[in-house]
Amino acid sequence: MSDERQPTRRPGGRTARVGAAVHQAVTELLGERGHGAFTIGDVAARAGVADTTVYRRWGSMEALLADVTLTRLNARSPMPDTGTLEGDLRTYAAGVAREITGPDGLALLRLAVALSGPGAEGTQALDTLVAERSRQLRSMFDRAHERGERAPDTETFVDLVLAPMYIRVLFGGGPLTAEYVDGLVDRLL
């Protein structure tokens, strides 16, 4: 097993090209057929790689979906660094609001929910996704702390800012206006 892992990833090399092709294939299949209606074999065929390449790198459909979700979330709402906690929070919250109300936003959120379904692999993949996102949030709060600002903990941020936005979009509770999103951040501050 350890020999198989010897050829490590070179950015811009074959590993990166395979990663991009597989992510692209998953995104297309999600849009065309929806979650649960395609297999790793379908993904591999669309990406032009062997099934075993996908299995070896991602291990399961759930892990692959979590990786695609996290990559898209990061590409669309990178963690801001504006110099103040308030600036970071407002920029980040506005970015999340834009992302989850955008063309694929609801599909992305519903995919994350689908990963939480029955099955340990989906749960594990979602845990990885949430842990990575929490790590990024903590680094934002750590920077605030180093500047001498009082920063919230990640759980409070999720409860007061992210959860209301997510639920509003998932349950069709009305638009995420700038006033609404700023109000959530005000409540946190």
Nearer to a copy of itself, 20 or 163 (CB): 163
170 binds a copy of itself (CB under 8 A): yes
Tell me the C-alpha distance between 89 and 94, whole Å: 8
Binders of a copy of itself among 119-138, rule CB under 8 A? 123, 126-127, 130
For residue 31, state whether it binds a copy of itself (rule: CB under 8 A): no
Count the site residues for a copy of itself by CB under 8 A.
26
C-beta of 26 vs 112, nearer to a copy of itself: 112
Are the C-beta atoms of 188 and 162 separated by less than 8 Å? no
- The 10 Å Cβ neighbour count of residue 108 is 20
Question: How far apart, in whole angstroms, are the C-alpha atoms of residue 55 and residue 148?
Answer: 46
For residues 56 and 54, give the distance between their C-alpha atoms in angstroms, rounded to a whole number: 5
Residue 188 contacts a copy of itself per CB under 8 A: no
Residue 116 is a binding residue for a copy of itself (CB under 8 A): yes
Asked if residue 49 lies in contact with residue 18, where contact means CB atoms within 8 angstroms, the answer is yes
Sort residue 72 into left (φ over 0), alpha (ψ -120 to 50) or beta: alpha
Nearer to a copy of itself, 53 or 124 (CB): 124
Work out how close the CB of 117 gets to a copy of itself at its nearest, in angstroms, rounded to a whole number: 7
Check: CB of residue 100 under 8 Å from CB of residue 175: no
| Cβ closest to a copy of itself, residue 48 vs residue 119 | 119
Do the beta carbons of residue 82 and residue 89 sit within 8 Å?
no
Among 137, 140, 162, 185, binds a copy of itself (CB under 8 A): 162
| Concatenated DSSP letters of 80-145 | P--SSHHHHHHHHHHHHHHHHHSTTHHHHHHHHHHHTSSSHHHHHHHHHHHHHHHHHHHHHHHHHH
Residue of the chain from 49, 112, 140, 151 that contacts a copy of itself (CB under 8 A): 112
Q: Is 78 a residue that touches a copy of itself (CB under 8 A)?
A: no
Span interacting with a copy of itself, options 5-13, 86-94, 139-147, 160-168, rule CB under 8 A: 160-168
Positions in the binding site for a copy of itself (CB under 8 A):
36, 106, 110, 112-114, 116-117, 123, 126-127, 130, 158-160, 162-164, 166-168, 170-173, 184
